[in-house]
Structure formats: structure tokens, C-alpha cells
Chain A
Amino acid sequence: MNAHAPQPAACDVEIRPERGQRAVFCGLTSIVWLHRKIQDAFFLVVGSRTCAHLIQSAAGVMIFAEPRFATAIIDERDLAGLADMNEELDRVVTRLIERRPEIRLLFLVGSCPSEVIKLDLSRAALRLSQRLAPEVRVLNYSGSGIETTFTQGEDACLAALVPGLPEATEADDDLLVVGALADIVEDQFARLFAELGIRARFLPARRAERMPSVGRGTRYLLAQPFLTDTARALEERGARRLAAPFPLGAEGTTGWLRAAAEAFGIDPARFDTVTAPGLRRARQALAPYREKLSGKRVFFFPDSQLEVPLARFLAREMAAELIEVGTPYLHRAHLAAEIEQLPGGTLVVDGQSLDDGLDRCRAARPDLTVCGLGLANPLEAEGLTTKWSIELLFTPIQGYEQAGDLAELFARPLDRRARLEV
């Protein structure tokens, strides 16, 4: 279907592990988009001033619009004794719930300091849940840097939700779509599944009391590549994953939808009819960007685990050339359908050694480098064109209607460099 795309050659993909200094966000950062998705949840980080400072830096101006996240900053007095610390936490939570009575779900989010001192937040969550029931449910997960990288915070959060999901009955033959998507994307997918004749529900739901049910026989589709623990928790409840590529680009979206359609026994003719308009629009939107991205050499620094599907999209649909695809963590089973489609000779680096990665990047002088904000301006100053990666998490990029927007995110920095004459 795509004349410009290199032929898939999975056996040639080299996966190289790397250890060393890592320039990545910790899992706390995912609060910034998660709190917007679950509209009656509050995220209370139990951590240090550093944690508060990080979220503030990541959240930018959003922090002033009565956000539903905050940090309980551990201070010297708390470090003196653990018993005292639980009382302190209860006091903070009580004050918080008094101020925000609309909150139905409270996440106690562990951080590096709270994990290192082994503050038992799961017990605290149980205790507070009992006290605040039935109005507020209290859960806990860790977003610490020692355990989670950036988007893994969402994984930990959703995994914490799974044990509390209602038990699905035999009659519930629904598709479960897992991973926070922008509301507009979620609505588009919901419409597509409805047209296919599949009842789809989404985890996380937009409100705490409307979380989907799960049980033996539930079939789920991952919408994001970073949901290792969530998938495991779902499997423990008896759910089965549908293997699929991720819904990025026209191909990825079709592959993703097809996996569900096949599992639910949808007539292929019907599948083609339902997906045709979206597919046509996506191809139409992508065409102008292929000209700009075709043959461009792209280097990915690790950040979100979206790197492999994004690289697949750029290589196959935009005919870009991949120099190196860094990812902070590679779940081979979840990404099997993606790796299979990477062009032959692609180097996937699992993990990071920052200075070594920078050396390789400088030596390769890519046309486009996808990296975090700590690296972007310094690399621009060295004459490299960069695309800052965090935007790929905050912008709706999945599905047919967003395929053009996704390509545009990569084309814009190149376009800009071409325009500027000074």
C-alpha cells in the first residue's frame, strides 16, 4: 500500500541494551496529563521539594488553574520517625479533602524519597480509604524516578486501578481500550468501534465511578506502548491482550483497529467500509508531509517508549531513514508487531548512556533529532534540528484524524530551519 516504504525485515533489527546516565523524566510527570483525564481524581505526591519543583516545571502555567495535584513535602521533622509521618499524611489528606469535596478518587503517589525511607503508602491508602469511604477512594502507586521513567507513571497508576475494577459478567463482551487518550481521540475511536459493531470501553474512564469492568474473557487493546504492569494486572484478572501495532499513522491505526475487528469476528468487508473514510483522510493529510520527511535521517533519544512506534510510522509512512531509536524500556512482546515492521538494519537502543548517545548523535549529524527539552536547545545550538519529545505526549496524535498532525510535529522544525534566514 505504500510504495515508498522500505520492506519490513524484522530479523535485521538490532536491539542493544545500554546503561549509564539517563536524561529522562520520572513517572511523577505523567500526573500532568492523567489528572486532566480522570476528572474527579486528585494526585497527592508524597515527596520532597524536588518533586514539587519538578511537577511545577513540567506543568508550566497549568499549575494555577486549581489543579488536582499537589505535593506533601516531607521535611526534617517527618524524617525523625515513621509513626509521626503517617499522622502527618492523614492531616494533610484531611485538609485536602475538606478543601476539595468534589474529589472521589485520591492517588497517593510515591516518590524516590518516600520509597527510599520505605513509607508504606499502600497501608496509608487502605487506612485513608476506610476513613473517607464511601465518598473518596484512596489508591497508591509509585511515580518515583528509581522505579519509573516518564510514561511508566501512567502504567503504575492504571495498574493500581485494575484490582478495584468491577468484575465483568459473561454478558459483557466489550472491548477494553487501555491507556489515556485525549478525549477527542477517545471519542473518535469509540465511534469507529461502534460502527464496527464493537462495544468499547476505556481505561482510564473520565470519572472515578465509571471505570470499566474486567473479567475472564475480557479482550483488551493497548492504546499506548508503556503499559507493562497494567497489562499484567489485567491478565491476572483473566483478560487477554489483542496483539496489535499502536494507533499511530494511517497504517498503525488500521492495524490496531483490525486486531480488534478480527478478534470480535467482524466481517472484513464491513471493516473496510468503516475504516475507508478515515484511512482516505489520513493518507490525504499525510501526503504533503511525506515530501518534507522523505529521506530525512532521524535520531531518537529515549523518553517515553513511544519511540519505536513513532520510528515505524516515520520510516514506513513518511519514508524517513532511522539512525538510532532510543527507548527507556523495551517490552518486546507488546512491541512485537512494531519491531517486525521496522526497516532492516534499524538500531534500537534499550536504556541510555547520555554522553555516549550524544557522541553517536553528533557523529551521525541527523536531519532531525527527537529528544527532551534538556537536550533540544543545546543540540540546536550545535546546528542540529530537534523535535522536543514531550509534545508527543500532550498532543492528540493517535488515530486517522490526527495522522497529519503527527507528521506535522516532525516536519515543523525542518520547515522552520528552512525558513529562518538569520
Chain B
Amino acid sequence: MQLTVWTYEGPPHIGAMRVATAMEGLHYVLHAPQGDTYADLLFTMIERRAKRPPVTYTTFQARDLGGDTAALFKDAVAAAYERFRPQAMIVGASCTAELIQDDPGGLAKALGLPIPVIPLELPAYQKKENWGASETFYRLVRALSGPPVERGPVDGRRRSCNLLGPTALGFRHRDDLIEIRAILGRLGIAVNVVAPSGATPADLGRLGEADFNIVLYPEIARAAAQYLEKAHGQPFVETVPIGVGATTRFVEAVAALAGVDPAPVLAGAPSRLPWYSRSVDSTYLTGKRVFVFGDATHALAIARVAAQEIGFRLVGLGTYTREFAREVRAEAALHGIEATITDDYLDVEAAIQAAAPELVLGTQMERHVAKRLGIPCAVISAPVHVQDFPARHSPQMGFEGANVLFDALVHPLMMGLEEHLLGMFRDDPEFHDGAAPSHLGHRPSDGTHAVGRAPAASPLAPAPAPIRIEGEAAIQTASWAPDAEKELKKIPFFVRGKARANTERYARERRLPLITLETLYDAKAHFSR
């Protein structure tokens, strides 16, 4: 048993719903108790879908358990077929129905419906939402993609690809797809089928006609792409095009597979991110301590953007996607940090506190943790709430996605000039340590300056270095002489914490009883080596 308040992922049948809801002409009959229909509102409210998800629930109750729940299930399948006339169906059990052990696959098969009925085995007590989506998509592709297709000779023919992975309730999947389609259009590559999003079961039957596959979200589509590689000989590209570098690599990889020239797409300055990052206002972003957490796809991609394209320093990286733990650990190791692989938000909160970042990039959950800790934050991954299914075009992928990311990652922080002014005029009433970024409105003032204090207290302090402590006295922190304390306050607040910690460490190591003006500058000189 695991004590849980917040869960990053729903149960696996929610993943199956994400696939079914993304598709057209597919119906899902879910053997589930009354109440499991709550999942509908994730789609109708958070994603604001205008249609009910194509899911029929058996909604059995206690009085049904004494009778024949199997018959109830069969009736539900038959009625759903009659009413919706889908091209194909998926059937399965939610967590409770898994325990009562009716066999959805067998029962549905016994009905002899004239359409493919694909049974799903989604172990609800072991697996979670993303796995459920991946497994469902894989099963659909396996059942419907048909026998190997004879593709015409490649010479002179326009190549085509499938785009795999976008689902319902996917973080920015809608707009990512627009960006990727545009890139492929400019490369002269045809898109054969996009799936699951917008595809029908019949479309899945045409998957084999493409020359290759593009996996946009490995958590969801890697298994299906691996199957298609084996069954249809289709190679696949799995570079997630989030960030300028990754998009460039993606374009090159796709162009190489299609035998086309990537140059027209890469020519000029396809994204504003590089110039914005180079502009002097961004100098202040250098080395800002950032903590990244999310699903593996986004955490990995955003960590690279943060470190290599915006110049932040990665002080934390983690994911709740255990299936991709190895990849995330490897990336974290490159930054000399240990990855946080957990689905317990309290562990993530502890890791954030320990890493003392100046910016948190995470899910809805990290947004709340960061708010509590008074740290700026941007959302980069599901789970997200309704505001992260925006009306405006806001992709994460492609060159426009990189533009969106630059804004998203930088806005929660002080603009460079603003931060500079705060340092220069810190004694002016308008520019005090507690001033929040001017574009983010104001926190209620309770006399303490949470924003100013947080960075001064911890994030800018040097990483704890092993200090040899000799004797009891060494633990004592030297007290500050009034003039030294006064001088310290003249140091801009965003480096003041570091200056204070360094000076105290310097004094401690030298067992100085009092920190004077001289000690302050001695320490500054010592640490500036």
C-alpha cells in the first residue's frame, strides 16, 4: 500500500481512454463500477472537448455483483455497437472489474460482432496511465495495421511517413502536430497517417504504406513503432524535436530517412530563441539554478534546452516515468547530479528544497510546490490543469515551439534589466528585495519579503562542500561586526546570500570570532580565485 495524496498518472485505463478519445470511429467498452465515469470530465473539462469520449461503461453496482456481471458486459458491448456503429472496438476492465475476473475479450468475442474487437489487458495494480496509452496503441496497431504492404520503388517518389504518439489529454499535442506537419511539408515529405490523434481504425490499416515512422512521444508510441519496424520494415525517428538543437537534429534525421535536403528548413534563423538567448538582456540567465521534473520526454528535452540553449545550470532533473528512468539518469549524470525518479510528490518537494533552485520547470504539482517555496516556476509537462490547454497556438515542438519555450522559461524570472535595477536601486521604495517580477503581479505583503529572501537564503548559497570541522568552536558561526553587516547589505541581494555564506565559511575555517569589514573583503578575494 502506498499513501498517496497526489498522483502524477491515472490508472492504465485512462491511458486507453486517451487513445480512444483521440481517434475517430473507435469505441471503448469499459467494464467498470458506477463512478468510473468521472474520467469523462478530464476530457470534457480540462481539454474542453466538445464531444463525450467514445466510452461506454458498464457501471455495475453492488446489486449486480450477485447476478451476472458478465451478461451485463455483453449487453453493454452489443448496445454500444448498435448505437455507435464503430469501425472497431476495444474492450477491457478497470481496476475493480479486474478483480471480479469477467473476461472482457472472451465475452466480446462471443458476440461475434462484424468488426474487429480488440481486448486490452491493463494491469491496474501494477501499471499506470502512460503505459496504458502505449499498450492500447500498440494493441490497436498490431491488430489493425494489416499484413506487410508492398511499397513502390523509392526513386523519384515522394516519401511519406506516419506521425505516431499524439493523444487526447496530451500536453500541447494539438499544436506540436501543427508544427511538425509544417516542417514535413517544407521538407516535401507526405504525412500518411497521424495516430492516434484523428485516426480511424481504417487509417491504422494504412500505416504500412508509409516509408517510415516518426515517434513524437516515446512514452506512447515507441512500442507501436517498434512493432511497425518489425512487421512492416519501417524505420523510425525518435528524436523529440523540443528545442532548437533537438529540432535541427530531428529535421536532419527525418531528411536523411526520406532522402531529401534539410537545408531549406534549417536555413536562416528558423527560431528566435538563439538570438534572444544571445541578446545581452539574457546574460543574467547565465547559470541560474534550475530544477526540471516531468514525464521523461519533456524532462529530458527541456533539461537540454535549459542547459544548452538558455544557459541555465541544471541542479535537479527527474521524472515520474519509471519506464524511462535509465535515460533520465544518464542525462542527469552529464550534469553531475542524481536524477529524481519517483511518483511521490513529497519526494520531489524534498528534492527541490535540497537543490534550492531559482527556477522550477515541472508539472502542475511542481507549480504548487514552487509557489509554496516562493520559487518562480513554469509548467513543461503533464499532468496539467485547464490553463495549460490554451486557446492560443503554443507548441513545445519545432522552431516555433522553441520560441514558446524561451518565453515560458524566462518570464517567471526577473528580466535582466529589471534585476539589474533592483540591485542598483535596492534602497528605493520601488526596488526592494521583495519585489516580484513586475509582469507577475504582486504577492500579498505580510512584512516579510518571501521572494527576495528565498534566493538570498538558499539557492545562491554555494553547494555544500565538505568542510572539516575541528572541535566544538568551529561549528559556531562568527558574529558580524555592525559595519561589516552594513556593507553586506550594499551587495546586490541576488549575490548577497552567497557572499554571506562564503564570508561565514571563511571565518569559520579560520576560527575568526568576529567578521569585520576586512574579513568580508578578505573572503571575497579568497573565493574569487
User: Which positions in A face B, CB cutoff 8 Å?
Assistant: 21-29, 46, 48-50, 52-54, 56-58, 60-61, 63-64, 67, 69-76, 78-79, 85, 88-89, 91-92, 95-96, 112-113, 115-117, 144-147, 149, 355, 372-378, 380-381
In the assembled complex, how far is the CB of residue A403 from the closest CB belonging to chain B, in whole angstroms?
Answer: 28
| Nearest A-chain residue to B57, judged by Cβ | A21
Stretch from B4-12, B151-159, B186-194, B352-360 forming part of the interface with A: B4-12
In the assembled complex, how far is the CB of residue A41 from the closest CB belonging to chain B, in whole angstroms?
Answer: 16
In the complex the two chains form, is B5's CB within 8 Å of A67's CB? Answer: yes
In the complex the two chains form, is A24's CB within 8 Å of B34's CB? Answer: yes
Q: Does B445 contact A (CB under 8 A)?
A: no
New A-B pairs, 9, CB < 8 Å, besides A57-B38, A116-B100, A145-B96: A49-B7, A49-B9, A49-B128, A50-B95, A70-B3, A75-B126, A78-B125, A149-B35, A374-B37
In the complex the two chains form, is B124's CB within 8 Å of A375's CB? Answer: no
In the assembled complex, how far is the CB of residue B521 from the closest CB belonging to chain A, in whole angstroms?
Answer: 45
* Also in contact, A21 and B58, with CB within 8 A (given A75-B126, A149-B34, A374-B44): yes
Q: Does B284 contact A (CB under 8 A)?
A: no
Q: Which of B14, B33, B57, B61 has the largest count of A CB atoms less than 10 A from its CB?
A: B33
In the complex the two chains form, is A374's CB within 8 Å of B51's CB? Answer: no
Across the interface, which residues of A come within 8 angstroms of B124, CB to CB? Answer: 48-50
| Nearest B-chain residue to A375, judged by Cβ | B52
| Nearest A-chain residue to B5, judged by Cβ | A70
In the complex the two chains form, is B62's CB within 8 Å of A115's CB? Answer: yes
User: Which positions in B face A, CB cutoff 8 Å?
Assistant: 1-7, 9-11, 13-14, 33-42, 44-45, 48-52, 56-62, 64-65, 76, 79, 83, 94-96, 99-100, 123-126, 128, 365, 368, 372, 385
In the complex the two chains form, is A21's CB within 8 Å of B59's CB? Answer: yes
* Also in contact, A374 and B7, with CB within 8 A (given A49-B128, A72-B2, A147-B61): no
Across the interface, which residues of A come within 8 angstroms of B365, CB to CB? Answer: 64
| Nearest A-chain residue to B61, judged by Cβ | A146
Across the interface, which residues of A come within 8 angstroms of B62, CB to CB? Answer: 115, 144, 146-147
In the complex the two chains form, is B7's CB within 8 Å of A52's CB? Answer: yes
In the assembled complex, how far is the CB of residue B431 from the closest CB belonging to chain A, in whole angstroms?
Answer: 31
In the complex the two chains form, is A73's CB within 8 Å of B4's CB? Answer: yes
Across the interface, which residues of B come within 8 angstroms of A91, CB to CB? Answer: 1
* Also in contact, A112 and B96, with CB within 8 A (given A79-B125, A381-B50): yes
A49 to B79 CA separation, bound complex (whole angstroms): 29
A64 to B99 CA separation, bound complex (whole angstroms): 31
Q: Which of A60, A69, A71, A96 has the largest count of B CB atoms less than 10 A from its CB?
A: A71
| Nearest A-chain residue to B53, judged by Cβ | A374
| Nearest A-chain residue to B13, judged by Cβ | A50
Point out the residue from A46, A116, A375, A378 that lies within 8 Å of B96, measured CB to CB.
A116
A88 to B3 CA separation, bound complex (whole angstroms): 10
User: Can you list 5 residue pairs at the A/B interface with Cβ under 8 Å?
Assistant: A49-B128, A76-B123, A374-B37, A374-B41, A376-B44
Across the interface, which residues of A come within 8 angstroms of B100, CB to CB? Answer: 116
Q: Which of B52, B83, B124, B365 has the largest count of A CB atoms less than 10 A from its CB?
A: B52
A112 to B97 CA separation, bound complex (whole angstroms): 9
| Nearest B-chain residue to A44, judged by Cβ | B3
Q: Which of B1, B35, B52, B125 has the largest count of A CB atoms less than 10 A from its CB?
A: B35
| Nearest A-chain residue to B126, judged by Cβ | A76
In the complex the two chains form, is A22's CB within 8 Å of B34's CB? Answer: yes
Across the interface, which residues of B come within 8 angstroms of A72, CB to CB? Answer: 1-4
In the complex the two chains form, is A53's CB within 8 Å of B34's CB? Answer: no
Point out the residue from A25, A52, A54 that lies within 8 Å of B4, measured CB to CB.
A52
Q: Which of A63, A64, A96, A372 has the largest count of B CB atoms less than 10 A from its CB?
A: A64
In the assembled complex, how far is the CB of residue A48 from the closest CB belonging to chain B, in whole angstroms?
Answer: 4
In the complex the two chains form, is A53's CB within 8 Å of B11's CB? Answer: yes
Across the interface, which residues of A come within 8 angstroms of B60, CB to CB? Answer: 146
In the complex the two chains form, is B38's CB within 8 Å of A74's CB? Answer: no
Point out the residue from A23, A70, A112, A147 that lies within 8 Å of B37, measured CB to CB.
A23
For the residues of B in contact with A, the DSSP-based class is mixed
Closest CB pairs A-B (n = 9): A26-B35, A145-B35, A374-B40, A381-B50, A112-B96, A48-B95, A373-B41, A145-B33, A145-B34
In the complex the two chains form, is A64's CB within 8 Å of B35's CB? Answer: no
Across the interface, which residues of A come within 8 angstroms of B33, CB to CB? Answer: 26, 112, 144-146
A46 to B4 CA separation, bound complex (whole angstroms): 10
In the complex the two chains form, is A378's CB within 8 Å of B1's CB? Answer: no
* Also in contact, A73 and B45, with CB within 8 A (given A113-B96, A146-B33, A355-B83): no
A235 to B244 CA separation, bound complex (whole angstroms): 71
In the complex the two chains form, is A378's CB within 8 Å of B51's CB? Answer: yes
In the assembled complex, how far is the CB of residue B417 from the closest CB belonging to chain A, in whole angstroms?
Answer: 33
A349 to B301 CA separation, bound complex (whole angstroms): 53
* Also in contact, A53 and B96, with CB within 8 A (given A64-B368, A378-B51): no
Across the interface, which residues of B come within 8 angstroms of A78, CB to CB? Answer: 1, 125
In the assembled complex, how far is the CB of residue B464 from the closest CB belonging to chain A, in whole angstroms?
Answer: 27
Point out the residue from A73, A96, A112, A375 that lies within 8 Å of B2, measured CB to CB.
A73
In the complex the two chains form, is B1's CB within 8 Å of A74's CB? Answer: yes
Point out the residue from B4, B59, B61, B99 that lies within 8 Å of A113, measured CB to CB.
B99
A25 to B65 CA separation, bound complex (whole angstroms): 19
In the assembled complex, how far is the CB of residue B219 from the closest CB belonging to chain A, in whole angstroms?
Answer: 17
In the complex the two chains form, is B42's CB within 8 Å of A57's CB? Answer: yes
In the assembled complex, how far is the CB of residue A81 from the closest CB belonging to chain B, in whole angstroms?
Answer: 13
In the complex the two chains form, is B7's CB within 8 Å of A56's CB? Answer: yes
Across the interface, which residues of A come within 8 angstroms of B35, CB to CB? Answer: 24-28, 54, 112, 144-145, 149
A149 to B36 CA separation, bound complex (whole angstroms): 11
A355 to B83 CA separation, bound complex (whole angstroms): 9
Across the interface, which residues of B come within 8 angstroms of A21, CB to CB? Answer: 56-59, 76
* Also in contact, A24 and B36, with CB within 8 A (given A75-B1, A115-B62): no
A29 to B3 CA separation, bound complex (whole angstroms): 18
Across the interface, which residues of A come within 8 angstroms of B52, CB to CB? Answer: 374-375, 378
Q: Which of B56, B57, B76, B95 has the largest count of A CB atoms less than 10 A from its CB?
A: B95
In the assembled complex, how far is the CB of residue B78 from the closest CB belonging to chain A, in whole angstroms?
Answer: 13
A302 to B60 CA separation, bound complex (whole angstroms): 16
Across the interface, which residues of A come within 8 angstroms of B42, CB to CB? Answer: 57
Across the interface, which residues of B come within 8 angstroms of A355, CB to CB? Answer: 79, 83
Across the interface, which residues of B come within 8 angstroms of A58, CB to CB? Answer: 38
In the complex the two chains form, is A377's CB within 8 Å of B50's CB? Answer: yes
In the complex the two chains form, is B10's CB within 8 Å of A53's CB? Answer: yes
A18 to B100 CA separation, bound complex (whole angstroms): 25
A117 to B95 CA separation, bound complex (whole angstroms): 12
Across the interface, which residues of A come within 8 angstroms of B83, CB to CB? Answer: 355
Across the interface, which residues of B come within 8 angstroms of A54, CB to CB? Answer: 35-36, 38
Across the interface, which residues of A come within 8 angstroms of B39, CB to CB? Answer: 53, 57
A72 to B471 CA separation, bound complex (whole angstroms): 47
In the assembled complex, how far is the CB of residue B481 from the closest CB belonging to chain A, in whole angstroms?
Answer: 42
A71 to B95 CA separation, bound complex (whole angstroms): 15
* Also in contact, A377 and B3, with CB within 8 A (given A115-B62, A146-B60): no
Across the interface, which residues of B come within 8 angstroms of A376, CB to CB? Answer: 44
Across the interface, which residues of B come within 8 angstroms of A88, CB to CB? Answer: 1
* Also in contact, A377 and B45, with CB within 8 A (given A145-B33, A147-B61): yes
In the assembled complex, how far is the CB of residue B441 from the closest CB belonging to chain A, in whole angstroms?
Answer: 18
A378 to B7 CA separation, bound complex (whole angstroms): 27
Across the interface, which residues of B come within 8 angstroms of A73, CB to CB? Answer: 1-4, 7
Across the interface, which residues of B come within 8 angstroms of A76, CB to CB? Answer: 123, 125-126
Point out the residue from A69, A96, A377 that lies within 8 Å of B48, measured CB to CB.
A377
In the complex the two chains form, is B95's CB within 8 Å of A63's CB? Answer: no
A381 to B40 CA separation, bound complex (whole angstroms): 15
| Nearest B-chain residue to A353, judged by Cβ | B79
In the assembled complex, how far is the CB of residue A46 from the closest CB belonging to chain B, in whole angstroms?
Answer: 8
A183 to B305 CA separation, bound complex (whole angstroms): 49
A372 to B367 CA separation, bound complex (whole angstroms): 28
